[in-house]
Amino acid sequence: MLKNRKVIVTGAASGIGKEIVKQCLFEGASVLACDINEHSLNDLMLSLDNQYPLHTYQLDVSNHEEVVKFFVYVEAEHADVDGLVNNAGIYLAKNILDYQVNEIDKVLNINVKGFIYLSQMFGKRLFQSQSEGVIVNMSSVSGIEGSSDAIYGLSKAAILGLTKSCAMNFSPYIRVNAVAPTMVNTPMMGNIPEWRKEEYVSHQLIHTPVLPEDVADTVVFLLSDKAKHYTGATFDINNGGYLR
């Protein structure tokens, strides 16, 4: 489905990002896997036994200078890149009343500014050459319905607005869509309060848990030509828990 495609994936070394990397590779794409955790990137590479066209790059998406350097590397080594999955994010599981200023900055710098930096530089490359490409932004059901962590919920709501605006700004060359999963069984889920987990589950119309692989399937679809008529859209993966 993704033959001859080259895709950047941020937050690539664990959870949903790791599954997105694997599914992209299995579908024939080359992948530039970026993560702040170099050790986890090495583990990812080892787990795939060097059988696939996987390249790793240690990157803090919230650091503008690092992102600039990354795109210098992309220009030199991977000029044919045509896909971007903005997935890197953090969730502190804190009540807004308990947030410190530096914690607010950290969440927004990674979860919002990181998406902006990558989208801007990716968009600039493809737009200038009038090349076609795709961006998939990882949002969350909490960006639509609210979160017990208000700063996280804010960051994921911002990504929905960024997705629509980039779809307009990057037209007609780059399609931009968002994915908004419900709770997914990853290490991050362990931080969600029990009452909120129960609330999510009680609303769902389908009782099969959403797995990282399921989210990755949707991302692969959006990266592929099968999704050529979708842009500015949000794909809810929530078992019908929140209908709109």
Give pLDDT, residue 197: 65
Give pLDDT, residue 63: 98
Give pLDDT, residue 190: 65
Would 181 be classed as within a structural domain? Answer: yes
Q: What CATH number corresponds to the domain at position 190?
A: 3.40.50.720
Would 229 be classed as within a structural domain? Answer: yes
Answer yes or no: are the C-beta atoms of 165 and 67 closer than 8 Å: no
Would 133 be classed as within a structural domain? Answer: yes
Would 244 be classed as within a structural domain? Answer: no
Q: Return the active site residues.
A: 152
**Global pTM?**
0.94
What is the per-residue burial (b if ≥16 Cβ within 10 Å, else e) of 120-157? ebbbebbeeeeeebbbbbbbbbbbbbebbbbbbbbbbb
Would 1 be classed as within a structural domain? Answer: no
Query: Which DSSP category does 225 fall into?
Result: G
Question: Which residues lie across from 176 on neighbouring strands?
Answer: 135
Answer yes or no: are the C-beta atoms of 86 and 114 closer than 8 Å: yes
Three-state secondary-structure class, residue 91 = coil
Q: What is the pLDDT along the chain (244 residues), one digit of tens a residue?
A: 999 999 999 999 999 999 999 999 999 999 999 999 999 999 999 999 888 999 999 999 999 999 999 999 999 999 999 999 999 999 999 999 999 999 999 999 999 999 999 999 999 999 989 999 999 999 999 999 999 999 999 999 999 999 999 999 999 999 999 999 987 766 666 667 777 767 767 778 898 889 999 999 999 999 999 999 999 999 999 888 888 7
Domain boundaries, position 167: 6-237
Number of folded domains in the chain?
1
Give pLDDT, residue 189: 61
Give pLDDT, residue 201: 73
Would 15 be classed as within a structural domain? Answer: yes
Would 243 be classed as within a structural domain? Answer: no
Three-state secondary-structure class, residue 3 = coil
The CA–CA distances, whole Å, from 88 to 48, 63, 240, 243 equal 21, 13, 25, 26
Would 54 be classed as within a structural domain? Answer: yes
For 178, list phi and psi in degrees, rounded to 5. -120, 155
Query: Which DSSP category does 206 fall into?
Result: S
